[in-house]
């Protein structure tokens, strides 16, 4: 859904080149309803421009910076040259993400959802998240708990979670650490097994986290964690090793944690 208001000066907007004139470029704003901006020839590219068509073409998607907005005259002045490549790529990705979120809203609440209901649900999500996409992504990763602060009824929250988990491709990261487990006791093998069981979490790991503990070579074991973000992954890795250490030390053994394989260390 497009915004019905006006962009703010300094904002980056996505638009499609609608018409090219000798004095500049007219751009239809993709994120705003019935809004069109003008990028003067001097703002199309740096340096002297002989022919505007050497720099843009009709139908091209561009990212522009809003220079000035005059609502009374219905005029929006834009600059394409003031947007660097990093900003352009970041804004395009953000725009694509919001297009996805718009489709997810339709899947969740129907293609014919009334504008006022759409806006009400969107505003509730935006009060807690930076974007609709972020709200759906967090719902896919963390479930209903991610929406604790969102002021919607339970049915709406459950619908968002269900839609998110069916449609959002969640990014994951992997982190790996190694722990050496030793026990001097006669039944030390059993002590190590108990420590490994503790490291694996005994079924108490969150649904969004995958944790595995594998044998490398006595006394070394690999702990690998797959999680939605590095902070979560690192926290779970440290917790896994802490559980193993607590278990083995309770049996009179020792645990030594390191991030590289023993054979790789200098």
- The domain ranges of the chain are 12-83, 87-167, 173-264
| CATH numeric code, 12-83 | 2.40.50.140
pLDDT digits (tens, 9 = 90+) for 15-31: 999 999 999 999 999 99
Collapsed DSSP state (helix, strand, coil) of residue 255: strand
In this structure, the dihedral spanned by the alpha carbons of residues 183, 188, 190 and 193, taken in order and rounded to 10 degrees, is 30
Provide the pLDDT for residue 92.
95
Alpha helices in 153-199 (DSSP H): 154-167, 188-199
DSSP character at residue 3: B
Q: Count CB neighbours of 17 within 10 A.
A: 19
Q: What percent of the chain has pLDDT over 70?
A: 95
Question: Are 42 and 85 a contacting pair, CB within 8 Å?
Answer: no
pLDDT at 235 over 70: yes
CATH fold group of domain 173-264: Alpha-Beta Plaits (3.30.70)
Query: What pLDDT band is residue 259 in, cutting at 50, 70 and 90?
Result: confident
Decide which of 1.10.150, 2.40.320, 3.40.50, 1.20.120 is the CATH code for 87-167.
Answer: 1.10.150
Contact 104, 63 (CB under 8 A): no
Domain pair 12-83 / 87-167, same fold: no
Looking at residue 76, what is its pLDDT?
Answer: 96
Is the separation of the CB atoms in 218 and 170 below 8 Å?
A: no
């Amino acid at each position: 859904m497009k915004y019905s208001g006006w962009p703010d000066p300094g904002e980056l907007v996505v638009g499609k080149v609608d018409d090219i004139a000798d004095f500049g470029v007219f751009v239809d704003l993709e994120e705003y309803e019935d809004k069109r901006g003008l990028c003067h020839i001097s703002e199309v590219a740096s340096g002297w421009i002989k022919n505007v068509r050497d720099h843009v073409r009709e139908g091209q998607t561009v990212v522009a910076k809003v220079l000035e907005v005059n609502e009374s005259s219905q005029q929006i002045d834009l600059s394409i040259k003031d947007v660097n490549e990093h900003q352009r790529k970041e804004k395009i990705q953000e725009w694509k993400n919001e297009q996805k979120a718009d489709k997810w809203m339709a899947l969740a609440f129907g293609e014919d959802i009334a504008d006022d209901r759409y806006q009400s649900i969107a505003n509730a999500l935006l009060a807690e998240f930076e974007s609709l996409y972020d709200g759906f992504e967090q719902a896919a990763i963390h479930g209903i708990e991610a929406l604790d602060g969102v002021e919607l009824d339970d049915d709406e929250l459950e619908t968002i979670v269900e839609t998110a988990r069916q449609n959002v491709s969640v990014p994951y990261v992997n982190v790996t650490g190694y722990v050496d487990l030793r026990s001097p006791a006669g039944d030390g093998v059993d002590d190590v097994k108990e420590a490994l069981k503790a490291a694996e979490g005994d079924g108490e790991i969150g649904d969004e986290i995958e944790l595995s503990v594998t044998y490398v070579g006595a006394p070394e074991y690999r702990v690998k964690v797959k999680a939605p973000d590095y902070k979560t992954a690192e926290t779970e890795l440290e917790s896994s090793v802490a559980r193993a250490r607590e278990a083995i030390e309770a049996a009179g053994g020792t645990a030594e944690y390191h991030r590289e394989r023993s054979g790789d260390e200098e």
